[in-house]
Amino acid sequence: MGDADLAIRAVGLGKQYRIGARVLGGPGTLRDAMAAGVRQFVRGGRARQEAPTVWALRDASFEVRRGEALGIVGANGAGKSTLLKLLARITEPTCGYADVRGRVGSLLEVGTGFHADLTGRENTYLNGAILGMRKAEIDRKFDEIVAFAEVERFIDTPVKHYSSGMYMRLAFAVAAHLDTEILLVDEVLAVGDTAFQRKCLGKMDDVTRHGRTVLFVSHNMEAIQRMCPQGIWIEQGRLAAMGPIGEVVSQYRAAHYEAAGGLGRFNPRSRSGTGWARVLDLALLDAASVRVGALPADADLRFQIDLELARDATAGASLRGLIVELNITSEDGRPLVSLMTADDDGVELPAARRCRLETVLSGPTFVPGRYRMNVFVGIPYLEHVDELVDALEFEILPPEHPWRPYALHERRGIVCRRAPWRCEVVAPELRGPHD
């Protein structure tokens, strides 16, 4: 790969933090100096104890071509966001360097770079100016940004009065529509409804088709595989794998489940959302209500979910009004079945701090193989409250009665369902030539 084809080259990139202290090597401020003086006064001149350190990212070396979409996967706290902050020049590396060639637009958390007291209009122009855009450039894109964000009525309202969904829509629209060569996106799908998620992914597809480079961090394995041909997996601050996205995701998932204890164990590591209510547990149960990791294809699948409000939830809040959705996917992330409390046979969550939900998918269910489950908790069309990707892995075994006709081969489909049939005569009985 020639240097002219490169958008990003990282060599030995690393970031170290002192736990409970300011960033190593970062510039001090007057406030920092005053705080340090007060701490020294309180200690009464005692010898300063060296604070423990942690490497958020270490020895990261990789290259990204111009116009390439690179997916970045890893558990919470692995170092993904730190990497993007280094590339965006928000923080300085402790070691190594990153050569970033082109104007960078970033969406690293909801409303990064927005000023709460400024209106949506003012923040759009402020963000553009920070990126080095001229007013004429922003004018040209402004109507398109507002239309995408769907905040026309509130564009002249201070963004501190926006809902989290409105904030996210405008923040993403600004980052994606302004004329940058490189777009850094950190989990934009954590907030927003399903329609907005599809809109975001479509826009990022459009961005890459027009030759811009995208680095996309997400826990949504289906989305990241659909959009990004290449990927890297970061584990405990180090690059654990790099290459075609399908291979990277497979390696990540295999290690992910080994660390979580294997089949049938609840895995909360890939959690995102606003977090004021949380899934505490998810289990697959057998007919005797025992947690299991595998069941035969002709058995009912019974799922149990424990849900509670976070301790810091707003006083008087309850679980009422939330929906819970279970999404069963194939091992490679293809969505197969959705089970939702808002369906016709669903239930309304109670006005309580904690509840336990159960649902049953009657057998026969799937052909033998391994399957995964994602969990979503939220307010329809408004907010992702808690979302866990690959929260449970389970296995479907051959049916207990393999002679039954629904023991089908995968080529006939993955999902096995019973369906009612009806037959009626619509033409008279056929007669032979001599009748």
Instruction: Give the span between the Cα atoms of 209 and 223, in whole angstroms.
Output: 16
**What would you measure as the largest C-alpha separation in the chain, in angstroms?**
117
Residue 193 lies in a domain: yes
Range of the domain at 8: 3-32+51-256
Instruction: Give the span between the Cα atoms of 188 and 67, in whole angstroms.
Output: 20
Asked if 59 and 106 sit in the same domain, the reply is yes
Residue 370 lies in a domain: yes
In contact, 288 and 413? CB cutoff 8 Å? no
Q: What is the pTM of this model?
A: 0.63
Residue type, 36: A
Asked if 316 and 406 sit in the same domain, the reply is yes
Instruction: Give the span between the Cα atoms of 217 and 66, in whole angstroms.
Output: 18
**CATH number of the domain within which 291 lies:** 2.70.50.60
**CATH number of the domain within which 141 lies:** 3.40.50.300
Domain total of the chain? 2
Instruction: Give the span between the Cα atoms of 166 and 151, in whole angstroms.
Output: 7
pLDDT per residue as tens, the chain (435 positions): 567 789 999 999 999 988 765 544 444 555 566 666 666 655 555 545 566 889 999 999 999 999 899 999 988 889 998 999 999 888 999 999 999 998 887 777 655 668 889 999 999 998 888 777 789 989 999 999 999 888 899 999 998 898 877 887 888 888 778 778 898 888 765 555 666 777 777 888 888 888 889 999 987 777 788 888 999 999 999 999 999 998 898 888 777 666 555 788 898 888 888 889 999 999 999 888 888 888 888 889 999 999 999 876 666 678 888 999 999 998 877 889 999 998 767 788 888 889 999 999 988 888 888 899 999 999 877 788 999 988 999 988 877 655 454 444 555 678 877 778 888 888 776 666 665
Asked if 176 and 115 sit in the same domain, the reply is yes
Helices and strands in the chain, H and E counts: 8, 18
Q: Where are the alpha helices (DSSP H) in 164-260?
A: 164-177, 194-209, 221-227, 245-260
Residue where a domain terminates, one of 227, 256, 285: 256
Asked if 59 and 140 sit in the same domain, the reply is yes
